[in-house]
Amino acid sequence: MILSSTIFIPLGAATLVMLMKPQWRREIKIISAMSGVLCLVISAYLCLTYDTAKGGLQFVEMRPWIPTLGASYYLGVDGMNLSLVLLTAFIMLTGVFIAWNIDDRTKEFFALFLILVSGVFGVFVSMDLFLLFIFYELAVLPMYLLIGYWGSTRKEYGAMKLTLYLLAGSALLFFGMLALYFKANIWSFNLTELAKISYPESFQKWVFPFIFVGFAVLGGLWPLHTWSPVGHVAAPTSVSMLHAGVLMKLGAYGCLRVAILTFPQGAQFWAPYIAALTAVNIVYGSMVAMVQTDTKYVIGYSSVSHMGFVILGLCTLNEAGISGAVLQMFSHGIMTGLFFAVVGRFIYDRTHTRELKDLGGLRKPLPWANVAFIIAGLASMGLPGLSGFIAELHILIGVWERFPLIAALCGIAIVITAAYILRVIHRTFYGELNPKFASLPPETIQEKVSVAILCAVLIVVGIYPVVLLDTIHSAVDPTVKLLHHVQPAVPLEQITPPTTSVQAVTGAVATVTV
């Protein structure tokens, strides 16, 4: 019951909002905020009562749903998705606060926003592939309307691009899903059951990319990433927060839960190639972020870079890397939410510009924004004391074991990240204040509360990471043991990769032994 409530509270709130009169703006916002608080309380309760000693799926709900297909209403959480449920709740609540100034069709905005959140919760707690897929689509569609109507810069283009990309991803995914369903031949979409079967290696090798890439489109894998910065820039602030903060994690989570856990040998085979792509993500994303002039684009590309870290962590297929990836999903979600809140709400809604050349000196009129942005920036640079460091430390320890060259390459990105974050801080908050912005409206209580919550999370996890890592390890460690239980019959080095040019790059990456 308790997991269902995370899905149905936002959905119920959305229904309630739809029944209200459009001019009841304040009430609509309060209802949304209350559902956010409820979801946060429930997620926190889940995290606190989850038994890490026992591990495995807990709070399970299982009901038959479409028996003729073998689809069931099967929910459950373990260490891999628990922190993501918590993340969603945090972003949902702060997102509602950040959307407090939306007075244009308030009712429709919040209804769609809540449906979107409900879909996201649904994906994270579903353990049935069919159900997961339905929720996945439920999450993508309101996004189109939210961006298309309430968005800014090139909103129609951004909304269209994003939706088409994600639908293309789900097409790949749908195909892979059907192939899996028929190959398994157990008349079920139950993910735990599907993962128990050992599929023939050749099958794993060709189906794995469909499912992995299908999800990785949403995770922003290079070169399928260009929807993400454009979409983030176009989206209204709280939707950007949800989008970059949570939706991209849906993709990475799907890669882990569905693709890697079901096809361990496929994952072993493809990991070096995907790792090479994520290295591009990391370095390329950070470099492009460095030359952007629109603040939101900088954050958008920084997400591309950081999501590269997440997928890279998954590709290591070892405990350190995967648990780091899960933690990085959480950490990046909070951090990026904070970035977008500051840039979109504090700065853009006041100054109506995001161009670096027009900004400057905002430290004085917007002190909360300044501190919040610096904290998010330090987390983004991987500074110790904030959650980003713990996550990146884990990922890089994991990556060093498998792909030392990529780990070294990531070093470049660490320096560049510092450069672009400091660039934004300097151009936005330091220097002389543009006289146009001499009398900006003061920071509101909702804004302050939301950034304070997010900053606090970054700091708490940074200083006391065990709070999340214990649960993450309780799921990742046994799973990784299972992954390596079925070693490929042929050692990895002797498998001939499909094309020679890719082989040259990734082969070198995979086989350098230190």
Partner 1 sequence: MILDHLYLIPLLPFLATAFTAFLKRPQRSLSSGTVILAMSVSCVLAQWALWTTITQAHHGEVFRHATSFEWLRTGTQALQLGLVLDPLSASMVSMVTFVGLLIFIYSTGYMHEDKNYTRFFCFLSLFGGSMLGLVLSNSLVLMFIFWELVGVCSYALIGFWYHKPSAAEAAKKAFITTRIGDVGFFIGLLYLYAKSGNLMLFDSTAGLGVLDQANLAKLEQMTVTLPLFGVAAVSTVIALLLFCGAMGKSAQFPLHVWLPDAMEGPTSVSALIHAATMVAAGVFMIARMFPIFALGTRHGEMSTAMTVVASIGSFTALFAALIAVAQNDIKRVLAYSTISQLGYMVTGLGLGSVASGFFHLITHAFFKALLFLGSGSVIHGCHGEQDMLKMGGLRKTMPTTAWTYFVGTLALAGIFPLSGFWSKDEILLYAYHQNKAIYFIGSAGAFLTAFYMCRQIVLVFFGKQRSHDFHAHESPGSMLWPLRILAFFAITLGIVGCPYYRGNLFHHFISPEHHGLEPSMTVMLSSTVIALSGLILGFLVYGRSKAVEKGTDPLRNTLGLLHIILENKFYFDELYRNTALRAANFLASFFRAFDQLIIDGILHTVGFIALTLSTFNQWCDNFFINGGFDRSCSGILRGGETMSALQTGRIQDYLRFTALGTVFFYLAYMITLILQP
Tell me which residues touch partner 1 (CB under 8 A).
Answer: 161, 223, 226, 284, 287-288, 290-292, 318-320, 323-324, 363, 378, 381, 383-385, 389-390, 393-394, 396-398, 400-401, 404, 407-408, 411-412, 414-416, 418-419, 422-423, 426, 430-432, 465-466, 469, 473, 477, 480, 512, 514
* Of residues 162 and 343, the one with the C-beta less far from partner 1: 162
Alpha helix (H) residue ranges in 56-154: 79-98, 106-125, 129-150
The least distance separating partner 1 from the CB of residue 383, rounded to whole angstroms, comes to 5
Q: Which of 34, 408 has the CB closer to partner 1?
A: 408
Least CB distance from residue 157 to partner 1, whole Å? 10
Contact status, residue 79 vs residue 474, Cβ threshold 8 Å: yes
Nearest residue (CB) to partner 1, 44 versus 425: 425
* Beta carbon nearer to partner 1, 255 or 472: 472
Judge whether 140 and 199 are in contact, CB under 8 Å. Answer: no
For residue 71, the minimal CB distance to partner 1 (Å) is 32
**CA distance linking residue 370 with residue 448, whole number of Å:** 12
Q: Which is nearer to partner 1, 397 or 505 (CB)?
A: 397
Q: Which is nearer to partner 1, 33 or 378 (CB)?
A: 378
What are the tokens at 444?
A: 């509101």
Least Å distance between CB 413 and partner 1? Answer: 9
CA–CA distance, 251 with 249 (Å, rounded to integer): 5
Q: Which is nearer to partner 1, 34 or 414 (CB)?
A: 414
Q: CB of 84 within 8 A of CB of 330?
A: yes
- Tell me the C-alpha to C-alpha distance, in Å, between residue 428 and each of 238, 258, 287, 293: 21, 42, 19, 11
173: nearest Cα among 137, 226, 124, 212: 212
> CA angle, corner 310, sides to 468 and 316, nearest 5?
95
Nearer to partner 1, 207 or 289 (CB): 289
- Rounded to whole angstroms, the Cα distance separating 78 from 98 reads 30
Shortest distance in whole angstroms from residue 143 CB to partner 1: 18
Query: In whole angstroms, how large is the CA radius of gyration of the chain?
Result: 22
310 and 252 Cβ atoms separated by less than 8 Å = yes
Residue 4 Cβ vs partner 1, minimum distance, rounded to whole Å: 33
* Cβ within 8 Å of residue 152, ≥6 positions away: 233, 234, 236, 348
Min. distance of Cβ 468 from partner 1 in angstroms?
Answer: 11
Q: How far is the CB of 477 from partner 1 (least distance, A)?
A: 7
Decide whether 145 or 383 has the Cβ nearer to partner 1: 383
Give the shortest CB-486-to-partner 1 separation in angstroms. 19
Kindly tell me the burial class for residue 514, based on how many C-beta atoms sit within 10 Å of its own C-beta (0-12, 13-18, 19 or more). exposed
On the 0-12 / 13-18 / 19+ scale of CB atoms within 10 A, 439 is exposed
